[in-house]
Amino acid sequence: MKLRPLFFAAGMLAAAACVPSGDRAAGTAAGRMAPPPGMVSVREFGKDGRLMEATAMEKVVKTDAEWRKILTQEQYTVARGKGTEPAFCGVFYDHHQPGIYSCVCCGLPLFSADAKFDSGTGWPSFFQPVAEVNVITQPDNSHGMKRVEILCARCDAHLGHVFDDGPKPTGRRYCLNSVSLVFAPQAAVAVQPKAEKATFAAGCFWGVEETFRALPGVVSTTVGYTGGRAKSPTYKQVCANTTGHAEAIEIVFDPALVTYEKLLAVFWENHDPTTLNRQGPDVGSQYRSAIFFHSDAQKAAALAAIAALTKEKRFPKPIVTELVPVGEFWPAEEYHQKYFMKKGGGSCNVH
């Protein structure tokens, strides 16, 4: 039992300082909690550099404070606050290298250099995205104008606006802010590492998820149950300590941004791996410390970490963390997902 762009005609802003205009976060995004995440169908590039079929992914949702930690002030002002960089100031408006432009917030591929053209507006312009499902649009009636805003489908980052005055074959002009984008040369697209998974159990999964969710490089998190016998277990069944399952978290992460070794370090730092089948006041095998490895490399990294921690006597008692191959992971009920983000409050961590 838990105890606990603004886009103007070309030249209007050319003389302005290269500082994003009006941070609309003050009236919209700032201080506002993002809605609970859903699933979104998007397309990514495979290791061969080709666009893969659409797959369902969890939306990237972070609090305003978390975005501020990850992004620069300029990136935050535009991508999260719906501001606009002045014309002719962005690094990509006169950029012509072959490659892919991705979302600065979550890394989703958005536009290809093959679809880029010079619109004369001072902002990078494209006639189509790499995949229609990767961008979403919505009406924007701010500043006394009627426009169509473009957002990243995975994290709702503000990208710019789309207009019906572009070249063939689409007749559209996706007018973007450079600061909302990151660029990967064509040669690098084919070798982009695929997102990987990590699964840990460290007691109450509410606090464990809150700890990992805000870590840069973590794409998504899901709390659930694994390591036991019962199929499709419920929270009530797991709490009865009869299923063999542990409260766990499944993490999808980008190894180019955060290593598995870094995730392990966070794991050790945020719970007590020396108490058997309990964390603080939470007692039962469902609260055990466990690492469910997805590969031999993850197993080796975990064993090396345990050996190093033991040698340096990081903990006063022996580490009892279970190290086993990952089995089927059963997502917990929706009300458990992103619990502290939705409800507020602190953490279940006891170490």
Active site amino acids:
175, 204
Residue spans of alpha helices (H) in the chain: 64-70, 73-75, 186-189, 205-213, 235-239, 260-269, 296-311, 339-343
**What's the order of all strands across the beta sheet hosting 246-253?**
322-325, 289-293, 196-202, 246-253, 218-226, 330-331
Quote the CA–CA distance of 218 and 202 in Å, as a whole number.
18
Six-digit token string for 140: 């924007």
Quote the CA–CA distance of 223 and 210 in Å, as a whole number.
10
How many Cα neighbours within 13 Å face the side chain of 311?
Answer: 6
Quote the CA–CA distance of 69 and 56 in Å, as a whole number.
27
Six-digit token string for 59: 């939306």
> Tokens 């489908």, residue?
153
